[in-house]
Structure 1
Amino acid sequence: MPDEHSARLLDARSLRGLAHPLRMRLLIALRRGGPATASQLAEKLDESSGATSYHLRQLAAHGFVADDPERGKGRERWWKAVDQGVQLDETLISDPDPAVRGAVALFRYELANVHTREVATWLGTAHDWAEEWDGATDLSDFTLRLTPDLARELVGRMHDLVQSYRTVPEDTPGAETVRVHTHLFPSQTTP
């Protein structure tokens, strides 16, 4: 059985199946909120149930979601996320097929939009959290001079560090789900 925190490696086919704004939002909603019906997701995401049904079936065809047989009765169809994350196969970035490169671009833009929405939501609700969370959050940025090899090393070390915190038990008093975003990209400097 795969580790519940392991990420699915996106190949060209699965990337095309996921690289759609509503599909990404649906998958995130199922991962964070648990199993749901197309109607429930439509209401939550302010979409039509026809659109959510169609895109859930597309996600299922690519193996991102599946029926949840433990829920529902009659014609009520419940969906659940199959895995808890995805990872982009870096070879797709320079794939010779323009459709694959376009799907990579769309996936990356949508991921950046997700991160922006999450930060904005936190900023708008920060006052709702207990005082213990004051000073326990971070919105930092750094400018470094790195080679591509050093940048890869830094990304790997950051990921390893984040993974090392997955051992906190679910029932730890005071523990909450937190989101960690990392962005590392080259930037032109203005003379």
Structure 2
Amino acid sequence: MAIFGLMDESLDPTLHSLDARSLRGLAHPLRMRLLSALRRGGPATASQLAAKLGESSGATSYHLRQLAAHGFVEDAPEHGKGRERWWKAVHAGVRFDDALLRDRDPQVRGAADLFLHEVANNHTQEIATWLGTGNDWSEAWRRASDLSDWTLRLTPEAAEELVHKMHDLVESYRAQASGASAPDTEQVRLHTHVFPVRTE
């Protein structure tokens, strides 16, 4: 089980559990980027998202409608002016069950594989962006950033326990910061990767 998304207090705090149907509706590179942009940047129009992501507004409009059909985004009429259609993310994140990787339907397995590879690509891009722009941030933020890795010898049960403890720790900071209004408060991205490797 894995959780993906930005846990933003302005969004429904519940996680959208992916099933075979909703996974197929989300597992597309542009749709995943659109959903991420709405979670992190707030409501926007198809044209605004197109400019931000370097896509055509026709493509963003089409894929936003597909995301809406699968329950990931919805209209944000409180932001609209005239004929502009504004969109917003519905949930703060999604819950991915690795049983989807073993589904009987090869299309579901393919969608699950694409989804996870896009998540990994996004993590790589975010780290590269930080490394390329780190000097634009204050010394305090440069000291507060982290790129670490460890190698442990664990049983599957111990690894699962570690994952749950890490998630609980992150959640404790989200609750603590829900009302944060200090002038130096920023969105902070955390990635966790736990997986076995063979030494030979």
- TM-score, with length taken from structure 1: 0.94
Q: Quick check: 1:33 aligned with 2:59?
A: no
Q: Are positions 1:139 and 2:150 aligned together?
A: no
Of 24, 27, 32, which residue of structure 1 is paired with 2:32? 24
Q: d(CA) in 1 for partners of 2:99 and 2:19?
A: 9
**Which residue of structure 2 aligns with residue 150 of structure 1?**
158
Is 1:189 matched with 2:196?
no
> Aligned pair 1:7/2:15, yes or no?
yes
**What SS class does the counterpart of residue 143 from structure 1 fall into?**
coil
Distance in structure 2 (CA, Å) of the matches to 1:172 and 1:142:
33
Aligned to 1:171: 181
Report sequence identity in percent.
68
Give 1 or 2: higher strand fraction. Answer: 2
Equivalent position SS for 1:70 = helix
Distance apart, 1:134 and its partner CA: 2.9
Amino acid at match of 1:174: D
Does residue 118 of the first structure (1) align with residue 126 of the second (2)? yes
User: Is the partner of 2:14 in helix, strand or coil?
Assistant: coil
Q: For structure 1, which segment, 168-177 or 90-99, has the greater mean C-alpha deviation from structure 2 after superposition?
A: 168-177
1:57 aligns with 2:68: no
C-alpha deviation, 1:93, in angstroms: 2.1
Query: Residue 48 of structure 1 corresponds to which residue in structure 2?
Result: 56
Partners of 2:114 and 2:48 in 1: CA distance: 26
Partners of 1:40 and 1:84 lie apart in 2 by 21
Question: Is 1:72–2:80 an aligned residue pair?
Answer: yes
Q: Partners in 2 of 1:96 and 1:107 — Cα distance? A: 17
Letter in 1 for 2:104: P
Could you tell me the TM-score, scaled by structure 2's length?
Answer: 0.90
Q: CA RMSD in A?
A: 1.5
**Greater relative CO, 1 or 2 (CA 8 Å, sep 6+):** 2
1:135 to partner: Cα distance: 2.2
Q: Which amino acid aligns with 2:195?
A: F
Question: Residues 132, 12 of structure 1: CA spacing in aligned structure 2 closer, same or farther, 3 A cutoff?
Answer: same
After TM superposition, where is structure 1 displaced by more than 6 Å over at least 4 residues in a row? none
Distance in 2, matches of 1:132 and 1:112, equals 27
Per-residue deviation, 1:149: 1.2
2:115 and 2:41 map into 1 onto residues whose CA distance is 21
CA contact (8 A) 2:25 2:67 kept: yes
- Paired residue type of 2:108: V
Gaps of 5+ in 2: 1-9
Deviation at 1:84, TM superposition (A): 1.3
Higher mean C-alpha displacement, 71-80 vs 12-21: 71-80
